[in-house]
């Protein structure tokens, strides 16, 4: 049965997150219901990464098997038509090998965290950015971020609910850049721990507003202790940007 | 009584527009109610320009008289606190001369119209952009726009409900630029007619998708006939960006 790779954008606000939940709507459920309306049966949609409740995606990747002879374009059109009015859109569909797996074949994941550094409350971007009113020192944040790049035990930045086998992960990129009123954190890694980026961003914000020095980030990492976490950033500003495949 | 100039950002979706309406919520009403909660009485908030239902603002300007001895910062903080949960924010407040008038003293207004030129439905930016799935030729759109710059009778691009005394207006700037999947229209003028930018953008889109040639825009302008209007763009993509004062 032909397998398709889907590139998906969504607004995370109305959802309990990517993964199917008994207690509320999820992105996966909306996609599987849209697929069922086209294919019949109970199609399964496998995602590259699970995003939390309220976390957004610009380029989430998933795969699904399609029992009907549909072109990639027709499949994405049919899914988008049935996804309405949910804020989920198929940006691209492409046929892939029958053994392609969105999660297990993914070799790189990229996230972005957007901070709006201003005093005024958010209006047009409410729920899609984290507003921090105290002026942030992005240079100090970048210095702190540099301590986390590479292979480390990220226990400090790991949710108690994390299901990963090991707390050791390799951050290939962690950059902080100011863009006017915005401070943007970009993170790349083969894979991440649950809450890893929100935990890191929360601590970067503490460095940015002066409560921590850049070296305190190193100490927090080295302590390998969740209690050393400064702050967990809200889901609002987090975006799943990209998944890479060999 | 000290007069304050307010710079205001809002998401236009929940509102009937800027101006007070009997039949629904307006930005002006929310601001006047917030001011009343601080000052008491029935404060009046005068806006620089009336935006339509669903039209947004990044830098709307208004003025209000404040009977209390508040600093500009305290006034903006107090207003923002009372504007919640409405998606309206005071970005800046400054004390101005007692005879300053946000509308009559304004010498220049700037609007932006944002088109998202892609096939997939909008998710994160739904209600804040106009999605056009057919590929747009931004160069042809820019050529068409050039015909409208300057002093003209804009009857073709004027709502039947327009209350302006004359249909003659001077467009000081009308530019079209592609930014990736987005096509952005920027318009500057001392003042605009009701629906002028939405009417112009609708016709620019017809040029962009090939239904009109750039010269058809000139013919539509010269006809001075509302019936020659190609298309009125939806409010979703329109932003009041800036007001200028001497």
Residue B179's beta-bridge partner residues?
B182
Domain coordinates in residue numbering, chain B: 3-96, 107-245
Residue A128: list chain B partners with CB under 8 A.
124
Q: Is A85 on the interface with B (CB under 8 A)?
A: no
> Encoding tokens for residue A76?
């994405």
Instruction: Using CA coordinates, name the residue in chain B closest to A81.
Output: B121
Q: Is there a contact between A122 and B80 if contact means CB atoms under 8 Å apart?
A: no
Predicted pLDDT at A230: 85
Q: Report the CATH number of the A3-96 domain.
A: 3.30.70.580
* Least confident residue range of A138-152, A155-169, B69-83: A155-169
Asked if residues A141 and A209 have their Cβ atoms less than 8 Å apart, the reply is no
For residue B222, indicate whether it is catalytic.
no
Chain B interface, best mutation among A71, A123, A126, A127, by max B CB count within 10 A:
A123
Q: Is there a contact between A124 and B56 if contact means CB atoms under 8 Å apart?
A: yes
A232 burial via Cβ count (<10 Å: 0-12, 13-18, 19+): middle
Chain A interface, best mutation among B88, B123, B131, by max A CB count within 10 A:
B123
Q: Is the pLDDT of residue B25 over 90?
A: yes
Chain A interface, best mutation among B93, B121, B127, B133, by max A CB count within 10 A:
B121
Q: What is the helix (H) or strand (E) element at residue A76, kind and residue range? A: helix A72-83
Q: Is B241 on the interface with A (CB under 8 A)?
A: no
> Encoding tokens for residue A161?
């609910």
CA dist list (Å): B190 to B107, B163, B170, B235, B244 = 5, 16, 7, 21, 9
Asked if residues B45 and B32 have their Cβ atoms less than 8 Å apart, the reply is yes
Asked if residues B230 and B211 have their Cβ atoms less than 8 Å apart, the reply is yes
Q: How many CB atoms lie within 10 A of CB A240?
A: 28
DSSP summary character for residue A119: S
Q: Is the pLDDT of residue A2 over 90?
A: yes
CA dist list (Å): B64 to A139, B12, B44, B106, B166 = 39, 21, 6, 15, 28
Residues above pLDDT 70, as percent of chain A: 100
Q: Is the pLDDT of residue B210 over 90?
A: yes
Predicted pLDDT at B134: 97
Predicted pLDDT at B220: 97
All residues at 6 or more sequence positions from B195 whose CB lies less than 8 Å from its CB, including other chains: B52, B157, B158, B159, B162, B232
* DSSP letter string, B43-100: ---EESSPPBTT-EEEEEEEEEE--S---HHHHHHHHHHHHTTSSEEEEEEEEE-TT-
How far is C-alpha B194 from the geometric centre of its chain's CA atoms? 10
Residue A34's beta-bridge partner residues?
none
Mean pLDDT over the full length of chain A:
96
Closest CA of chain B from A133, distance in Å: 12
Instruction: Using CA coordinates, name the residue in chain B closest to A57.
Output: B124
pLDDT in tens, A87-117: 999 999 999 999 999 999 999 999 999 999 9
Instruction: Give the pLDDT mean for B64-93.
Output: 96
Q: Give me the torsion for CA of A45, A50, A54, A58, rounded to 10°.
A: -70
By annotation, the residues of A acting in catalysis are: 52
Instruction: Give the pLDDT mean for A229-233.
Output: 90
Residue B76: list chain A partners with CB under 8 A.
120
- Tell me what ipTM this predicted complex has: 0.93
Q: Which of B133, B144, B138 is nearest to B203 (CA)?
A: B144
All residues at 6 or more sequence positions from B8 whose CB lies less than 8 Å from its CB, including other chains: B27, B31, B57, B59, B60, B61, B62, B88, B89, B90, B91
Does this chain's domain B3-96 share its CATH topology with B107-245?
yes
Q: Is A89 on the interface with B (CB under 8 A)?
A: yes
What is the distance between the alpha carbons of residues B162 and B227, in angstroms, rounded to a whole number? 15
Rg (CA), chain A: 19
Q: How confident is the model at residue B101 (pLDDT cuts 50, 70, 90)?
A: very high
Q: Is A113 on the interface with B (CB under 8 A)?
A: no
Q: Is the pLDDT of residue A139 over 90?
A: yes
The residue ranking higher by pLDDT, B24 or A143, is: A143
Peptide bond preceding A85 in cis form (omega within 30 of 0): yes
Assigned CATH class of B107-245? alpha beta
What is the distance between the alpha carbons of residues A82 and A246, in angstroms, rounded to a whole number? 31
Residue B11: list chain A partners with CB under 8 A.
123-124, 126
Query: Look-up: residue for tokens 């710059």?
Result: B149
pLDDT in tens, B119-165: 999 999 999 999 999 999 999 999 999 999 999 999 999 998 888 88
* DSSP letter string, A180-218: TTEEEEEEEES---TTHHHHHHHHHHHHHTTSS-HHHHH
Instruction: Give the pLDDT mean for B79-106.
Output: 97
Q: How confident is the model at residue B236 (pLDDT cuts 50, 70, 90)?
A: very high
Is A111 among the annotated ligand-binding positions? yes
DSSP summary character for residue B135: P
Q: Is B21 on the interface with A (CB under 8 A)?
A: no
């Amino acid at each position: 049965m032909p397998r398709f790779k889907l590139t998906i954008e969504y607004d995370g606000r109305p959802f309990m997150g990517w993964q199917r939940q008994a207690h509320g709507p999820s992105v996966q459920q909306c996609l599987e219901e849209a697929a069922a309306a086209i294919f019949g049966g109970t199609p399964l949609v496998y995602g590259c990464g699970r995003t939390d409740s309220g976390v957004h995606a610009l380029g989430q990747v998933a795969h699904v098997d399609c029992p009907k002879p549909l072109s990639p374009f027709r499949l994405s059109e049919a899914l988008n038509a049935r996804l309405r009015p949910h804020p989920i859109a198929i940006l691209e569909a492409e046929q892939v090998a029958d053994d392609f797996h969105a999660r297990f074949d993914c070799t790189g994941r990229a996230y972005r965290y957007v901070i709006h550094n201003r005093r005024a409350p958010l209006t047009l971007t409410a729920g899609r950015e984290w507003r921090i009113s105290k002026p942030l020192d992005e240079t100090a944040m970048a210095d702190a971020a540099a301590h986390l790049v590479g292979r480390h035990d990220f226990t400090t930045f790991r949710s108690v609910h994390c299901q990963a086998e090991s707390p050791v992960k390799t951050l290939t990129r962690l950059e902080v850049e100011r863009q006017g009123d915005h401070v943007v954190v970009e993170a790349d890694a083969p894979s991440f721990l649950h809450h890893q980026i929100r935990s890191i961003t929360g601590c970067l914000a503490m460095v940015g507003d002066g409560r921590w020095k850049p070296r305190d980030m190193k100490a927090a990492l080295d302590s390998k202790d969740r209690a050393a976490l400064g702050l967990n950033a809200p889901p609002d500003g987090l975006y799943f940007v990209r998944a890479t495949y060999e």
